[in-house]
Amino acid sequence: MESAMQYIGGAFEPGFGQRTGPVYNPATGDVAYQLHYADRATLDRLCEIAGPAGREWGNQSHARRIQVIFKMRELVIRDTEILAELIGRENGKTLDDAKGEIGRGLEALEFAAAEPHVTKGEFTRNVGGNIDMFSFRQPVGIVACISPFNFPVMVPLAMTAMAVATGNAVILKPSERVPGAAAHLSKLWAEAGLPAGVWNVVNGDAEIVDAILEHPAIAAISFVGSTRVGEYVYQKGTSHNKRVASFTGGKNHMIVLPDADLDQAASAFVSAGFGAAGQRCMAISVCVVVGEETADKLRERIVAQTAKLRVGPYDMKGADYGPVVTAAAQKTVNDAIERAVTEGGELVVDGRDLQVEGHEAGFFCGPSLVDRVTMDMQLWQEEIFGPVRAIMRAQDLDEAIAIVNAHEYGNGAAIFTRSGYASQRFANEVEAGMLGVNVPIPIPVGYHNFGGLRRSKFGEAHMFGPDAARFYTKMKTVSHRWPEPESVDEGLSMSFPSNS
């Protein structure tokens, strides 16, 4: 089975590793198949293939590389249904949600087609002494991309499209929970005309991640995942002199002011909070409402909207969201709800013990809502990757902004208001990397940079946008002078060069 294999040098194979791990169907709780885990010997052989393949690919013309990017876009569109099915079976998200993810992944390919423009160098004529100076960018070599379970197509494409377009060889390490989409993307890259060895996939857990972080042939690493692992990846990767861009956790707040359209705010909170079973790093997990009266009115609307949500398997018509990814994730959500109640939260909607007919063993969690959450509660302090959401109450905008900025994460935040003054203060003062004004999930489009602040990102690079091209390339600056024929030698000069 191709999804269970590594993809190395243009072919699927198990690799040298002896370990395997289960891939589940979250809707049923059944093991779909056993995934072969790669080991260090597998990675060594892969890098021996990827190195020469990448150098040859990097020397291809921009036109040749962009032809492959254009073709890959066409193929992803053609196979959207297949990819969505793979995402649904292994991740659990609904088919509509999966197709939305694929659409955002296409943006990364579309922006990668602009690679010749965003990697253009600079030129200055006669900086002094008849010396011309120019700079240009080259691929860094072999790059590794470690992607999460919650976006099996969007994040791998966001990580790798520009890496391929700029002429690097790529090693993708997808989440061991959702390897199927990565396997299918491998076939599409080959069909698009990408030479064998330029795109590769290795599967596994912490063992292969450590091998990637330590391997001397790998020049750069892009990571998306939890803060605990992401910080480790950044520190260990940089200690081995690699470029590392590590995108980590989020606890995204949505401030609602009394002048907001409360119906719109309630719909936005429910959609952004419970979509994909709350398993999005940019999901709204905390609603900070200014004023008790506003909070009561908004809560009533949120409860009414939440009651309409339908939870079911990924292919159930009309399902709003599916299961969480594992039984362990299901337990984490239920434990968080129990602790929130113990710590004094008001459980307004209880989604525990949800049973989906015909899928009783699936990893389902109904939507849960806890009101009167405070900053000393776990539900505010920690990222709970599941469909449990919090309401906090603030006296004014100052307190609301202070709550947002007190959190260690700064991935995204939103405000719902009709006040230009309030939105301007929010944009200027909130310490988060991606902000929305009356927009609940402010994920930038593919030609703008994606990334959080504080402990939501380690390293200075961004995903998407022009920063992706800079991350996957190195710059060289050349000073050159061509003396006139038969010019006179000016002799020795021991002074430091000056362009005056």
Known catalytic residues are 281
Q: How many CB atoms lie under 10 A from the CB of residue 39?
A: 18
The conformational region for residue 291 under phi > 0 = left, psi -120 to 50 = alpha, else beta, is: left
Rg (CA), the chain: 25
Cβ proximity of 213 and 246 under 8 Å:
no
Q: What's at 473, amino acid-wise?
A: T
Q: How many CB atoms lie under 10 A from the CB of residue 30?
A: 11
Instruction: For residue 342, give the 3-state DSSP assignment.
Output: helix
- Where is 224: in which H helix or E strand? strand 218-224
Cβ proximity of 181 and 87 under 8 Å:
yes
Cβ proximity of 134 and 165 under 8 Å:
no
Angle, alpha carbons 195-200-203 (nearest 5°): 165
Q: Which two tokens stand for residue 191?
A: 């069909």
Got the DSSP string for 283-321?
-EEEEEEESHHHHHHHHHHHHHHHHT--B--TTSTT-SB
Angle, alpha carbons 334-101-355 (nearest 5°): 30
Alpha-carbon gap, residue 53 to 68, rounded angstroms: 15
Got the DSSP string for 2-32?
GGGSEEETTEEE--S---EEEEEETTTTEEE
